[in-house]
Structures are given as C-alpha cells and as structure tokens.
Amino acid sequence: MSWIEGAKRRAARAAAAHVQKGSVVGLGSGSTTLHFIQIIGSHLKSGKLSDILGIPTSHQAAAEAIKVGIPLTSLDEHPKLDITIDGADQIDRNLDAIKGGGGALLREKVLASASKKFILIADSRKLTTRLGESCPLPIEVLPFAIKPVLDRIRNLGAKAKIRVGSGKLGPVVTDNGNFIIDAEFGAIDDPWSLQRKLKALTGVLETGLFLGLTDIVYIGTQDSVKDLRRPRKEDH
C-alpha cells in the first residue's frame, strides 16, 4: 500500500471511531471514503458495530456499502442523520472545503446539511491555505440552463468548462441527471461571497463550496493522523 493509501486509511479509521451502535450514517463518495465504508463493513462483520444504517451519496457508495454488508436506508425514512463521513478535494484551515471532483456534490451537501455531525477525511495533499488554488470548483447545473450559466460563470472571472466523460461521448451526467461545470477561479479571496453569487444564477443547483458545515477533519499523513476541529462558539 502506498503512503497515500495508507494516509487515507488512517484518516478513515479515525473517523470510523465516531460511529456508534444504532447510528444512521451518511456515506460519502470517493477513494478515501471507500476506506471508511470498508472499515465500517468489517466492524459490522466482526460484531464491533451493530444496527447501523447507511445513506449513500452516490451509486458508487451504495454499491460498496452493499458489497461490505452495510444496510441502506433513505432520507425519506431518516431525514436527520447522526453523522456523515466524506472526503474532499481541498480543505483549508477554517475546515471549509471544495468537493465534487467525483460529481456527487449535491447529494453530499444534502447529507452534510442533514447531519448532526459532519466529518471530512483526506490525505495531507488536500490541505491548502486558500481554497481554489490549483483546484477547480465543481458546480452542478440543470442541463437546460448549461450554456447561459457557463457564460455567467465566465463573466464572474473563471475559466470554466463543462465536464466531459472519459470512455463516453458528451458531458458527465450526475446521479441526479445534471451536468457539472468545473470553474477555475484561482485562489478564492471570499468563498462566502462567491457562493452567494453562484447560487443566485438561475440553473445552478449547487456548488462544491462546503462552507461552515464541517465539525472535524482527519488528515492522514505518512505516519500519523492530524485532528482539526471547528472552534466552539465560546472559543471565538
């Protein structure tokens, strides 16, 4: 196992310690979260955990959960989750993040917003001082509105393009039937302001800016795990 995969595994193991018997757990998407899903599956198999229900953010996460024996449920049955564990494309020191490289950002943000606790896991390459540096911002867009939205995002100063698939012709289609625009803004000075501007564009369904949602970040390194936590209100 490479140091990167080892780092992902260590971060996933730290997050898995937060999952308790009887929890409803949001299952994020991506390579790091696959480690988490596998760990939870092994805990169920060994009897270390029981009575867990998972809500996946993508077909990929659902398939892996079924493979390792995690029973699945839905937001219709459990509109409030105990915890969601997910990966990220980029994380800053405020615990804000860019997500959506795997195309599941809308469902990921829905689960993050519906969870009592939201934990991000990543390897140390994902830490940054400023969101957007060398990392495009994914934006999920209604296909009917793709061209006017693309033009408006470019007018906001981004180099933007519709994400296209490898091994298929045409745009990537999300699990929700929408398209993704990848917008390169460079280092983002005011993520909250950019979020408001993008969400105001008719046809934009969600952005990959995850702001003010994360409670804990576990960062795997070559030989350890860093624990970053959002300060309590009384700490400000």
Cα 162 from chain centroid (whole Å): 20
140 is catalytic: no
Identical fold for domains 3-127+212-231 and 137-205, yes or no, is: no
137-205: CATH topology is Alpha-Beta Plaits (3.30.70)
The residue ranges of every structural domain in the chain are: 3-127+212-231, 137-205
Q: What is the pLDDT along the chain (236 residues), one digit of tens a residue?
A: 799 999 999 999 999 999 999 999 999 999 999 999 999 999 999 999 999 999 999 999 999 999 999 999 999 999 999 999 999 999 999 999 999 999 999 999 999 999 999 999 999 999 999 999 999 999 999 999 999 999 999 999 999 999 998 877 899 999 999 999 999 999 999 999 999 999 999 999 999 999 999 999 999 999 999 999 976 544 33
**Residue 52: partners with Cβ closer than 8 Å, 6 or more residues away:** 19, 21, 22, 23, 25, 40, 44, 70, 71
User: 3-127+212-231 in CATH: which number?
Assistant: 3.40.50.1360
Cα 125 from chain centroid (whole Å): 16
The pTM for the full model equals: 0.94
**Which one from 64, 77, 108, 184 is the annotated catalytic residue?**
108
